[in-house]
Structure 1
């Protein structure tokens, strides 16, 4: 399943990049998503950075058929590699689960602001209900991005 989600920020791309490269921002974004736990590792590399967010997520909001596969909680490891300030790659691994999420993140200037564009290929390898599970994963990723966006708006406003 193809996934695309856009988030608009009232700040130039350089400021949005610096926000995304701040481990404290990433930790606050995890807290806004009400995860059980999160470990953020971020290393600056030249003009970019490498990020890993290893988090334990709640599954009590999932339909029962999805909880059968996810369990009482689920682990997600988000990995980003930014070669420069314009964008990077994104991969979300779910250890022990039959799913893959891979794609790109792009920061595009728009007027005086920035649009963050996330495009992913979401695949679940479960016969018969793969489509339903892919749709649920897409909804969870979008909800996480929206929570991070809320934290980002406050961050960029200095709050």
Structure 2
């Protein structure tokens, strides 16, 4: 299933890219969105041209009827950015789940703001019910995206 998401930041793309290319931004964003003690940075590499970070975290599995008793799953995010082109890629590995997720990312200036676009591809490997699972995952991503964007906006002041 293909799915496009956009996040708008009240800053130029040069500032947003500086933020996205900082390890501390990623850890502070996780702390701000409730992952304190539930993540670890597996790898982080950056230079004048590119930045990549690999983070493992424990996330609740959203399942109908589970509520707050939902089990946790291990998710590994691999995020890579080309600083000059302001494009990147995110690959998400959901341990033990028959799902593949990745996206191509880009950022551009729109007026005084920066818009980051995520072109997601979500694929379930389960026949018959795969489409339903993909829709559940996309709905969950949409719900969490606004919280993550707001947490990132709150951190922008550190990069101006």
Shared fold (TM-score, shorter chain, > 0.5): yes
Aligned to 1:62: 63
Q: Following the alignment from structure 1 to structure 2, what is the Cα–Cα distance between the partners of residues 117 and 136? A: 21
Find the counterpart in structure 1 of residue 44 from structure 2: 42
Q: Residue 64 of structure 1: CA displacement?
A: 4.5
Q: What is residue 8 of structure 1 aligned with on the other side?
A: 8
What whole-Å deviation, never above 9, does each CA across 1:85-119 have from its counterpart, x for those lacking one?
Answer: 41101110112211101121111111111001011
Q: How does 1:137-148 map to 2 (within 5 A)?
A: 137-148=137-148
* Deviation sequence 1:59-103 (CA, Å, 0-9, x none): 2x42149xxxxx711111111121224110111011221110112
Answer yes or no: is the 8 Å Cα contact 1:78–1:90 preserved in 2: yes
4+ long deviations beyond 4 Å: none
The alignment partner of 1:157 has SS state of helix
Aligned residue pairs total 153
Give the secondary structure class of the aligned counterpart of 1:153. Answer: helix
Q: For residue 96 of structure 1, what is the aligned residue in structure 2?
A: 96
> Please, what TM-score do these two structures have when normalized by structure 2?
0.85
Instruction: Give the RMSD, CA atoms, in angstroms.
Output: 2.1
Distance in 2 (alpha carbons) for counterparts of 1:50 and 1:129: 34
